[in-house]
A and B are shown apart, each in its own frame.
Chain A
Amino acid sequence: MELKTVIFYVFALIMLVAAVRVITARNPVHAVLFLVLAFFNAGGLWLTLDAEFLAIALVMVYVGAVMVLFLFVVMMLDIDAKRLRQGFWSHMPLAATLGVLMAGEMALVLSSEYFGSASFSGQTMPADYSNTKELGRLLFTDYVYPFELASIILLVAIIAAVMLTLRHRRDVKHLDPAKQIAVKHTDRLRVIQMPAEKEEAE
């Protein structure tokens, strides 16, 4: 067996085990961490397929951003795992049917003439071929217009999100250091002239 094949099976095995643990782990935080492990191994699999851009994107976007966010959410939410597991067996028949149905559909698609492995020729690229570079070239030449449009859509999303959620509250007790430094003694202390002793009204 070639070394590459060995590596493939190692990655694939760890990924499958991690994926199964995602749904069987009792602690939600552990489940998220197993998902991270599965993503890492999927990234490794893509690397062995020479799809280095996808591998980097998966690790950076999913592991680096999405899953960290997930982890925060899971840690902050008070999840009652016991209550969630209630009714598992009563929903089981429906869920199993749906699962089998989806697996069957996927099998049909993968064995069809469009997507079967026979329809993909095993085209090999020269060793110095970089698909990251190719993707970058396409994005910034032929697809520069939709690429820029997508970036403007992101800008719109940022503006809309800030507009809808930013509230300037008046009752927040935060301090402005600049104002604290700029304070003068007259702002803090007011000297009032008053007679030392109240005269008796006689």
Chain B
Amino acid sequence: MLNNFVMPDLYPAAPELFLATMACVILLVDLFAGSRRRWLAGTLTQLALIGCAAITFLNYGEAASLTFSNMFIDDPVSDLLKLLVYVSVFGVLIYGRDYLAERDLDKGEYYLLVLFATLGMMVMISAYNLLTLYLGLEMLSLSLYALVAIDRDSPRATEAAMKYFVLGALASGLLLYGMSMIYGATGTLEVGLIAQALQDGIANRTILVFGLVFLVAGIAFKLGVVPFHMWIPDVYHGAPTAVTLFIATAPKLAAFAMALRLLVSGLFALADEWQTMLMLMAVLSIGVGNLAAIAQTNIKRMLAYSGISHMGFMLLALMSGVAGRDVDPMALVNAYSSAMYYSIAYVLMSLGAFGVVLLLSRAGYEAENLEDFKGLNKRSPWFAAMMMITMLSMAGIPFFVGFFAKFSVLLAAVAAEHLTVVVIAVIFSLIGAYYYLRVVKLMYFDPPADSAPIRASMDMRVLLSANGLAIALLGLFPNALMMLCTVAVLRSL
């Protein structure tokens, strides 16, 4: 009975297996370590991430390899995205450590949930089957719901978690419904076979488009773009800042991977349909995100709306793959690699911005209002400069990484002849520059309202400086990362 079964090749999935094992080990270690050796869980978690990075780096492949009955794919795009996920989770752990310790939230469960969320993201990034994609998404989402509620005695965090949970469950339901339609139309859950079935034209197009609408809605919720953005400001605001930092960074990479796998690898034959949907959402997100951010006085909410507009920009590149009737392979690669570049740049900037918010917070005090940034230059010129770099880069001012990300996205959109959309996007990002520059003005030209010294551990200072400098340096030398993205996309598609 078992004679036709081939043992799956575990090598491509080695990082996932390693992380799952480490998570179980940390679970047990933390159980027996007791509260005095709490640092063990954190240190082991960081070591696990480093180990994963080493394995993924050694695995960094030339071509795609499938395993587990074609449910798992290991290609250059997934390797690159996973490496960046490790880096950003590592940053999240270091930035958030003091903040959580001061609020007595740095329990073993925090590290475990972060690890399981990371595992979920890795599964999503490497999914080649709708089933595994969904399971990865659920693993990520469940961990995030719990992380938002980790501060049990805060009514605001509980409310945010409740909202996130209800809306997230609804979005998962929409996604599943769409997946079931696709399955009904094509008879398969495997991404490659779906693309094949679409190419052969045997599938019922009405059912496919119907399913596509639900899939796009599910993806849009995870990316947090208009009109599925309602949860973002409330969750970013309500969650403890260290958790907000986590939600705002690595999951965006996973959602990008999900969009790439579903729409580009799976449903490319329906590109005409989904490009129009993405265009609408991109324009709305850039508009609503930038306009609503101006009205915010809370920096977490402001960054939430700015994140919505950034994800809109990312969609702009994702919808620029095909222009007109004939498919130009180079334009395709350009569009998807600039979307990838944009997500990476956004994660980097988001890490920097929330990192400074965490730096200014201390026991019993949340630096979450724009007022709290007043006169930061007087208190700490170095970190004010880091925040300025991040803000200018988010605004898309030249010679920071954000500028080149926006530039390559707009180039791709122009190449796809979406001129009107490009003009709208540029106008709204000019409007958006106002609220980024306001933060810079508060830091440099207003007298400080708070004179408490800024205390932070050495590794946080080093990492935050490296983060700011990376935003500046990648802006000066944008080609290295762009090349990595282009080569990865070229080899994977």
Which residues of chain A are within 8 angstroms of B123 by Cβ–Cβ distance? 149
CA distance A150 to B120 in the complex (A): 11
Interface positions of A from 50 to 82, Cβ below 8 Å from B: none
Chain A interface, number of residues (Cβ within 8 angstroms): 21
Interface positions of A from 115 to 132, Cβ below 8 Å from B: none
A150 to chain B, nearest CB (A): 6
Pair B72/A145 contact, Cβ less than 8 Å: yes
Pair B8/A159 contact, Cβ less than 8 Å: no
Stretch binding the partner chain, chosen from B128-136, B293-301, B396-404, B465-473: B128-136
Pair A152/B132 contact, Cβ less than 8 Å: no
Pair B131/A156 contact, Cβ less than 8 Å: no
Task: Say which residue of B8, B71, B138, B152 sits within 8 Å of A153 (CB atoms).
Answer: B138
Pair A159/B109 contact, Cβ less than 8 Å: yes
Interface positions of B from 112 to 130, Cβ below 8 Å from A: 112-113, 116, 119, 123, 129
Which residues of chain A are within 8 angstroms of B20 by Cβ–Cβ distance? 148, 152
Chain A, residue nearest B20 (CB): A152
Pair A153/B132 contact, Cβ less than 8 Å: no
Stretch binding the partner chain, chosen from A99-107, A136-144, A172-180, A186-194: A136-144
Pair B69/A142 contact, Cβ less than 8 Å: yes
Interface residues on B, range: 20 to 34
Interface positions of B from 66 to 80, Cβ below 8 Å from A: 68-69, 71-72
Which residues of chain A are within 8 angstroms of B149 by Cβ–Cβ distance? 164
Which residues of chain B are within 8 angstroms of A144 by Cβ–Cβ distance? 8, 68
A157 interface residue (CB < 8 Å to B):
yes
Task: Say which residue of B27, B107, B135, B142 sits within 8 Å of A160 (CB atoms).
Answer: B142
CA distance A139 to B13 in the complex (A): 18
B2 interface residue (CB < 8 Å to A):
yes
B5 interface residue (CB < 8 Å to A):
yes
Pair A163/B2 contact, Cβ less than 8 Å: no
Contacts A144-B68, A163-B109, A163-B150 given; indicate if A149 touches B2 (C-beta within 8 A).
no
CA distance A104 to B119 in the complex (A): 44
A43 to chain B, nearest CB (A): 26
CA distance A164 to B145 in the complex (A): 11
B278 to chain A, nearest CB (A): 28
Pair A143/B69 contact, Cβ less than 8 Å: yes
CA distance A159 to B116 in the complex (A): 10
A136 to chain B, nearest CB (A): 11
Which residues of chain A are within 8 angstroms of B129 by Cβ–Cβ distance? 146
Pair A145/B139 contact, Cβ less than 8 Å: no
Contacts A146-B132, A159-B109, A160-B146 given; indicate if A141 touches B2 (C-beta within 8 A).
yes
Interchain residue pairs with CB less than 8 A apart (12): A142-B5, A145-B71, A145-B132, A146-B131, A152-B119, A159-B27, A159-B109, A159-B113, A160-B113, A160-B143, A160-B146, A163-B150
